[in-house]
């Protein structure tokens, strides 16, 4: 069956709009059922926790739930996360320190969601 990338892409957009993720610094694409996500992963400031420890836990929960939702979309064969500030290692999400310059470069190269 032909995988319809545009339908996956539309569903992905819907997931992001309905979530508490700030997707203004994130890009996503779909290639033959494979979903790519890049950029900086952040939760929207309306949903941020005040305490640092709690905030980290909240972001990790958000990442897990986001991943689960994408994988459950019909036609999705795999998800590749290439976030600058979060990396998945042995099934766990870990924060990555990013240099300010890298962040600025990312801002410049972002395409619009």
Partner 1 sequence: MKKRQNPTYKWVLSEIGREAQVHPHYADLQNHFALLLMAGGEMEKAESHFLEALHLNPKYREAILNLGFLYIEMRRWKEAEEIFLSEVKRHPKDGFLHHVLGILSLQTGKKKEAIARIHQAIQHHSYYRDYYQKKGIWQRGVVVLDQKAERALKKIHLNHHDAQFHNFIGLCLAKKGRSRQAVKELRKAARLKPDEIIFHANLGTVYYYQGAYSRAVREYQKTLEMDPTYGMGYANLSYVFGLMSRTQEALHYMKKAVQVNPRYADLHYNLALLYSDRRRYVEAASELKKALRINPSYLFARINLGVLYEDQRKWKEAKREYRRILQITPDDEHIRRRLERIS
Binding residues for partner 1 (CB under 8 A)? 2-7, 9-11, 13-14, 17-18, 27-32, 36, 38, 45-46, 48, 50, 80, 82, 109, 111-113
Least Cβ distance, residue 10 to partner 1 (angstroms): 3
Name the residue nearer to partner 1 (CB basis): 22 or 60.
Answer: 22
In terms of DSSP bridges, do strands 21-22 and 34-39 run parallel, antiparallel, or are they unpaired? unpaired
* Beta carbon of residue 112, minimum distance to partner 1 (angstroms, whole number): 5
Q: How far is the CB of 6 from partner 1 (least distance, A)?
A: 4
- Residue 45 or 92: the one with the smaller Cβ distance to partner 1 is 45
Pairing relation of β-strands 34-39 and 78-83?
Answer: parallel
Sign of the torsion angle spanned by Cα atoms 105, 107, 112, 113: positive
The answer to whether 60 and 48 have CB atoms below 8 angstroms apart is no
Instruction: Using alpha carbons, list the distances in angstroms from residue 99 to 46, 85, 91, 103.
Output: 25, 10, 24, 6
Degrees, nearest 5: CA angle 72-18-76: 20
Nearer to partner 1, 9 or 65 (CB): 9
CB of 27 to partner 1, least distance (A): 6
């Amino acid at each position: 069956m032909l995988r319809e990338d545009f339908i996956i892409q539309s569903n992905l957009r819907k997931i992001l709009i309905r979530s508490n993720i700030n997707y203004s610094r994130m890009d996503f694409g779909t290639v033959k059922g494979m979903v790519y996500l890049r950029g900086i992963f952040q939760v929207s400031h309306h949903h941020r926790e005040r305490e640092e420890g709690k905030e980290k836990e909240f972001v990790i929960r958000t990442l897990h739930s986001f991943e689960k939702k994408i994988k459950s979309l019909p036609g999705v064969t795999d998800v590749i996360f290439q976030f600058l500030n979060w990396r998945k290692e042995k099934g766990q999400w870990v924060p990555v320190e990013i240099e300010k310059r890298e962040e600025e470069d990312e801002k410049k190269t972002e395409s619009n969601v």
